[in-house]
Amino acid sequence: MDKPATAGFDDRFARCRSLLHFTACRILGGSSKAAIAVRNCWCEASHNPPQFEHEGAFRSWLLRILINEALAIRRSGQWQQLGHERAQPATWKELNAN
């Protein structure tokens, strides 16, 4: 991957990061597990970043990868090993307050 394409991908991913983290928190129930899912999503997506013209298509593509990664964490048993936090998942407003 050349440098300009990587920079563009990183910028677009950064714009979607809070939505990805929020979604992962809702699926996995905690911030530590959500961070792992978002990291896995970035690793998977960065191998072959598509050239979507519209941000919505890119965001939908990333969300599908994230959902697959979060479900894989739940299926793998890594979910229990990470400690299932009983705290309420963050709300969208709380995540965007930072």
pLDDT tens, residue by residue, 24-57: 999 998 888 899 999 999 999 988 787 777 778 8
By C-alpha distance, which of 58, 73, 50 is closest to 13? 58
**Which two three-digit tokens encode residue 13?**
């991913």
Residue 90 is predicted with a pLDDT of 54
Residues in the chain: 98
Q: What is the pLDDT of residues 67-79, one digit of tens each?
A: 999 999 988 875 5
- Delimit the domains of the chain by residue range: 28-96
- Whole-model pTM: value is 0.71
Would you state the pLDDT for residue 94? 58
